[in-house]
Amino acid sequence: MTTLAERHHYILNKLKKERNINVVDLCKDLQVSTVTIRKDLQVLEDKNLLFRTHGGATLTNPYVNEQPANEKGKLQSTEKVNIGVAAAALLQDNDSVIMASGTTVTEMAKSISARQGLTVITPSLNVAIELLKHPGIDVIQLGGALRKSSASVSGPSAEQALGDFFCSKLFLGVDGIDLEFGLTTTNAMEAQLNRQMIKVSQKTIVLCDSTKFGKRGFGKICGLDEVSQVITDSGVSPHTVKALEGMGISVTIV
């Protein structure tokens, strides 16, 4: 039987190693009830040693706020470039795809080599500008209300325009990915547009660096049951990878 101090020490050490932990695993490791673990997490959160999440805890604040695209682009820049390269490699000649907004999706656009017959639908001005460099790529720029913070559009006009298309792949950037809550972004209108993108795409591929795991934004996009593939970096925890693969989601680590 472990003491209170021993449990807290174990929880914090495990959290430092894995970044995110869940109640079920802690119960098995420490052989105590879920009630005991939840009380332990509450005490540790009150001491500002962790943040509780639905079903577990994390070291980083799980609630994300909107940041300008130029600031976000400086964060995990190397990881985003590598993720973008891996995503671009999935494109084929004569593909019809949607590339959503976000700094990681923009890095994907920068990594695209010449393709014949490729059609890309996007709400992002930055993505469209990058793709204009390739004469063999047809770009359909969605219209709507422009969000200056992300240099992308959202709203009814963009959502209605998507109703005229069906694409093989959606490349989606997110602000948060939570194993239980799903995909989120900081803007509710963007979340709504993302949901429409998912409806008109055969396959949803999420591009996110490992810092996005265990976080939640204001606007929920969808549950993980609607995700086909996740491309992320080596900072993702083995537990998270195992959980995603257990849901039938392909995980690519760069």
pLDDT in tens, 112-133: 987 888 999 999 999 999 999 8
Same domain, 100 and 152: yes
Give the torsion through C-alpha atoms of 159, 162, 167, 170, to 10 deg: -20
Q: Which pLDDT score is estimated for 19?
A: 81
d(CA 228, CA 198): 11
Same domain, 118 and 155: yes
Task: CATH number of the domain at 222, please.
Answer: 3.40.50.1360
Domain count, the chain: 2
Q: Which pair of structure tokens corresponds to residue 170?
A: 């959606």
Q: Which pLDDT score is estimated for 50?
A: 87
The range of the structural domain enclosing residue 107 comes to 69-253
Q: Which pLDDT score is estimated for 116?
A: 82
Digit-by-digit pLDDT tens for the chain (254 residues) are 579 999 999 999 999 888 888 899 999 999 999 999 999 999 998 888 988 877 888 887 767 666 565 555 555 789 999 999 999 999 999 999 999 999 999 999 999 987 888 999 999 999 999 999 898 899 999 999 898 888 999 999 999 999 999 999 999 999 999 998 899 998 899 999 999 999 999 999 999 999 899 888 889 999 999 999 999 999 998 989 999 999 999 999 99
Residues 58/19, Cβ–Cβ less than 8 Å? yes
Please report whether residue 233 resides in a domain. Answer: yes
Nearest to 31 by CA among 10, 45, 60: 10
Say if pTM beats, i.e. exceeds, 0.85. Answer: no
Same domain, 150 and 31: no
